[in-house]
Amino acid sequence: MNEFNDQNVEVYGEVAVEPILPQKKGFAIASLVLGITAIVPGCCCSYIGIILGILAIVFAILFMNANKDIVVSKGMAIAGLILGVVAVIICTVLLIIGFSSMSSGGYQDMIDQITNSIESAN
Amino acid sequence: MIKKLCTFRNLHILGVLLILGVFAVAAIAYIQHGTAFIDLIVLEPRAIGKCFYRENFGISCPSCGLTRSFISIGKFNFSDAFGYNRIGPFIYLLFILALIFNVFGIFKSRYTRLMGKLVAVYGVAVCIILVISWVLDYFFGV
């Protein structure tokens, strides 16, 4: 029993405790920034929102892969991942709604309404 | 070469320029027309400031009305600012906080890290509220 305890003391005594730092933290920051940018102005700009959202997802996955063996805070990367996914979903839904309304003639109706209102105003 | 350019200080300078660019777009729009539309020689006339979805499909996206909201805030007309986009003034505040964060970063203030965390948390919260607000507005008419 004493030998066991002595061994443990020696082992723990030799190991220097160093703080575990996240690898490639820039990827997490980039993911968060791209996620926010993908939603706030990106959603207005059709494909740009999708591109920014996909980039946010890619950077978040790269950060998580680089730190999968280490217990570090992944809050920023997760937030970037969620915002990226949400931005991609919103842009895709808007494009689907838009193109479906175009194909069903809703777009032409809208143009006609705008043209009529402009003509009546003049 | 790229590593030398990508210092934290330079990235903060880039951040300041980008945010000032956003305010400049709103200011130019107001000076030119008093509205959110901008004529630029290099681009198609009135290319900036108009929403792709509203222009092409007639539907509103979460960011619709932001430029007009920013212009209204510039005129201290907050009721109109909330009217154009309910989350517009909060996003304006986000840009101001991000500007302060980047200025702190340039001068290496000790509050830079704290400010960065504040901007990150506030930015994520604003994005989530923006999306929820748009969903309620567009799909449920609330």
Among A83, A97, A110, select the one facing B127 at the smallest CB separation.
A83
The two tokens of residue B125 are: 């919260």
Q: What is the pLDDT of residues B7-46, one digit of tens each?
A: 778 888 888 888 888 788 777 777 766 555 554 444 444 4
Indicate if ipTM > 0.85: no
Averages of pLDDT over runs of 10 residues in chain A (122 residues) are 50 59 79 87 76 91 84 83 90 82 63 66 60
| H/E element, B67 | helix B66-74
Q: Are A43 and B62 in contact (CB under 8 A)?
A: yes
- Distance to chain A for B77, nearest Cα, Å: 22
Give the count of beta carbons closer than 10 Å to the beta carbon of residue B39.
15
C-beta of residue B124 within 8 angstroms of C-beta of residue A33: no
pTM score: 0.72
Tell me whether A83 touches chain B (CB under 8 Å): yes
Residues of chain B with Cβ-Cβ distance to A35 below 8 Å are: 124, 127
Size of interface A-B (CB pairs under 8 A): 67
DSSP secondary structure of B15-33: HHHHHHHHHHHHHHHHHHH
Nearest-neighbour CA in chain A from B10: distance (Å): 15
Cα–Cα distance for residue pair A109/B5, rounded to 1 Å: 52
Measuring CA to CA, how many Å separate A9 from each of A3, A4, A16?
A: 10, 9, 13
| Structure tokens belonging to residue A86 | 């949400």
Shortest alpha-carbon distance between residue A87 and chain B (Å): 9
Residue of B nearest to A32 (CA): B120
